[in-house]
Structure 1
Amino acid sequence: MTISYLDPHLVFAWQAAHSLARGAPAPVRDRGGFRVDTGSEKEARRWVFPRLCDGLREVAHEVKAPRHYLKLCGTDEALRSVLPERWQMQPANYFMTTMVTAAATKSLPDGYAMELQRDGAVVRACVLAPGGELAASGHAAETAEAFVYDRIETAVEHRRKGLGIALMAALGAAKASAASVPLLVASEDGRGLYAGLGWRVLAPFATAVIAED
């Protein structure tokens, strides 16, 4: 069943592992949510809130600089309702988990090859096409509390060949602890893929940003 908010402890665990997967600073608690001082070219800072609260409203009215992101475990309508006009809504996403044990390694189409690279708690999987170009890639990061899948991407010309499923299986096989909860944030398109693999939506995940002028 989809709910309109999530356990803050679970959201913090997701953000901590997500930051690890992307080489970003660890999240800190801020006004009922979690702030990451990303400092990247795309994103200066983000806040993730498990639910609507006065702290989210305060941040939304206080922040005026571009490349700042607000994320809510809730609907687009709920987030939009508390934002000043300068915030722009982004495409909807979904916070998901699964109870399904990681599938065995999936075979790839003829000529494709899987490569895995591990750097501490972070794993990167790449599928190379017969010509050697990158056909698909994905990342995962594990902490004591969460195993987060991130940036599962397949090039347009290589889609519908099972590469995404193979990536998920390869990354899932790297999960070391039975205690870490599998989590991911899916796009509208990705939600169907993950649902077919036994994942379920915990909550919608709304995002707004102050874009560059």
Structure 2
Amino acid sequence: MTTIEPGLIRRWVDGWTVARSLPEAEPVEPVGDGLRSECDQPGREVEVFALRADEEPESLARLAAAVAAAQQTTWLAVPTLRPDTAEAIVGAAGLELLNRSEWFMTTDLTDHPQHGPAAPYEREVRTEGPVTVVSLHAPSGELAARGFIAVVGGDAIADRIQTDAAHRRRGLGRAMMSALAEAAVSQGARTGLLIASEEGQRLYSSLGWHHKADVLIAKGPTVPSIR
């Protein structure tokens, strides 16, 4: 059975935590079914990433049960090539399915197409350590689009690629991804990794990114904050 490699998921999580300035994710004990990240966001205090959902469905069942019983509001991300099976497992644990249509995608950044921003938008590139932020501004100075990319070894993890609704359908997404790829390659990255929303999948596919797996997002019960 074809599965997504756990090592590839680990590499994405490593870069995602760097891109968001989060602590390094830790293995879910006792058998390492997944990785656990402290997100510290309202309604998303912790996120758990399944590593072996397809090759060991019982590992996903253990993770889902742990998320359902967590003392903090916890999300579960499941990269999978068997989304129907994964959905049934997380549903049986009582988790709420938030999204089943995101994609885990990869690309060779050295072959990434290059597209500059259409006039009159201006590009700002700012790099601090391993993280580069690209911003595209309208003539008024208004922020039209922004994206982040974190370089970890030979990988670059793109994150939070957003275009303001008033500035869509003007090629800004392509310009954004081009600038992020260029910055990452200049820092030694060769492989691009990202998780794409349903809205972003067409853009990334048109730029040569490849679908590796679907990603299901589920959530455990909301745990009231104690003040």
Give TM-score, length-normalised by structure 2. 0.84
RMSD, aligned CA:
2.0
1:89 maps onto 2:70 in alignment: no
Deviation readout 1:97-132 (Å, 9 max, x if unpaired): 11352333x332222111111110000111111221
Deviation readout 1:150-198 (Å, 9 max, x if unpaired): 11111111111000000111111112225x4211110112111111011
**Matching residue within 65, 75, 80 for 1:69:** 75
**Larger relative contact order, structure 1 or 2 (CA cutoff 8 Å, min sep 6):** 1
**Matching residue within 117, 121, 124 for 1:115:** 124
Within 5 Å, which residues of 2 pair with 1:79-158? 79-83=86-90, 84=92, 86-91=94-99, 92-99=101-108, 101-104=111-114, 106-158=115-167
- CA gap of 1:15–1:72, structure 2 versus 1, over 3 A, is same
Shift of residue 79 of structure 1? 2.3
What corresponds to 1:170 in structure 2?
Answer: 179
Say whether the 8 Å CA contact 2:46–2:72 is kept in structure 1: no
Shift of residue 145 of structure 1? 4.0
What corresponds to 2:17 in structure 1?
Answer: 19
Gaps of 5+ in 1: none
Structure 2 residue matching 1:193: 3-state secondary structure: helix
Shift of residue 4 of structure 1? 6.0
User: Percent of aligned positions with the same letter in both sequences?
Assistant: 28
Say whether the 8 Å CA contact 1:12–1:27 is kept in structure 2: no
Gaps of 5+ in 2: none
- Partner Cα distance (1:187, 1:78) in 2: 21
Structure 1 residue ranges (4+ consecutive) displaced by more than 4 angstroms after TM superposition = none
Give TM-score, length-normalised by structure 1. 0.89
Matched residue pairs, number?
209
1:186 maps onto 2:193 in alignment: no
What corresponds to 1:56 in structure 2?
Answer: 60
- Partner Cα distance (1:212, 1:38) in 2: 15
- Partner Cα distance (1:162, 1:135) in 2: 11
